[in-house]
Structure 1
Amino acid sequence: MDNLTNHARPSTDAIITVRCIKSFEYRTCKNAVLKHIDLENTTVGELKAHILETIRTTSGWKPYLSVEFDTLKLYTVAHGHKTQNLIINMEDDKSLILSDDSATLAWLGIENEAELSFFNREAYEAFKKNPDMKW
C-alpha cells in the first residue's frame, strides 16, 4: 500500500528544464527539456557537458552555438515560487548558482521538475549592473 501513495518520481529518473540564455537584455532564451536525469549520480559538470552536447547536436540551436555557456543557476523547483524575471532568478546568487562542478545535483537540492538557467557569467554580471530590458 505504501508504494501506491508515493507518487514522487525516483531521483534516478528526473526531468529538468534548462533555460539557455543568449541575451539577458532581449530575454532571448531557449528551453532544453532533459529527461531521465539521475540526480543522485549526475554532477553539475556532467550536466553542463550534457546541455552543451544537446546545443551542438540538436537542430534549432544554431543561434546559441556562439554563446560561451559556463554557469548554471537554479530558477525554481516544482511548486516553488517563481521570480518576476522570466528567464533568470536574480536573487541570492550565492546559494542558487551551482558553482561546484563536482557536486551531485541531489546534494545541491535539485529536484525532479526543477528549472535551471544556463548562461555566460560575465554577461550576467554586466546585466545585473544595468538591468535594462530592450525590445
Structure 2
Amino acid sequence: MSAGAVLTVRLVRSFEHRNFRPVVFHSVNLENTVLDFMQLVRDDIATRPGLPPPFRKYAYDTMKIIHQAHGAKTNELVMSLEDDEKLILQNEQTLRAAGIANETEVAFFRKEDYGLFKANPQTAW
C-alpha cells in the first residue's frame, strides 16, 4: 500500500484576472470521496501560512482535473474549458474513481464563476 498521492490543487479566485495559487498536498488517500477531499483542502487553506486571505475564505465548491502526470498539458493559463463531463469531479466518487492519480493537478473553484467565464471567456489585465 502506498503512502498516498501528491496532488496539486490550483485555487482559482478569478478566471478573468487569471488569479490562482497552486497548493501541494502530500499523502492524499485516493479512497477519500471528492467531497471529503474538498473539505480537507478548505480546512487546510483556512490556516495555511503564506496564503493571502482572499484565497483562504473563498467559497470554492467544484474541482476539475487540469493535468495528470505524463499527460498532455492544456495551453490555457488557468484551466481548460473543455471536457467538463469527463474532468469535473463528482462529489460522491472516490478520488481514484474520478480519475485522480499521483501527481494529478486539479483546479478548485466556484462553479458559478466558471459558468460565467465559460459563457464569455475574456481575460482582463
TM-score of the pair, normalised by structure 1: 0.86
Residue of structure 2 equivalent to 1:102: 92
> 1:78 matched to which residue of 2?
69
Question: Where does the alignment leave 5 or more consecutive residues of structure 2 unmatched?
Answer: none
Percent of residue pairs bearing the same amino acid type: 38
Bigger Rg over Cα: 1
User: How big is each residue's C-alpha offset from its partner over 1:65-118, in whole Å with a ceiling of 9 and x where there is no partner?
Assistant: 34210000000110111111122121110110002x221111111110000000
List, as ranges, runs of 4+ consecutive aligned residues in structure 1 with deviation greater than 6 Å: none
- SS of 1:134's equivalent in the other structure is coil
Task: Please give the residue correspondences for 1:1-135 in structure 2 after superposition, counting only pairs within 5 Å.
Answer: 10=2, 12-39=3-30, 41-61=31-51, 62-99=53-90, 101-135=91-125
Residue correspondences, number: 124
Determine helix, strand or coil for the equivalent of 2:45.
helix
One-letter code aligned to 1:28? N
Please tell me the root mean square deviation across aligned C-alpha atoms, in Å.
1.4
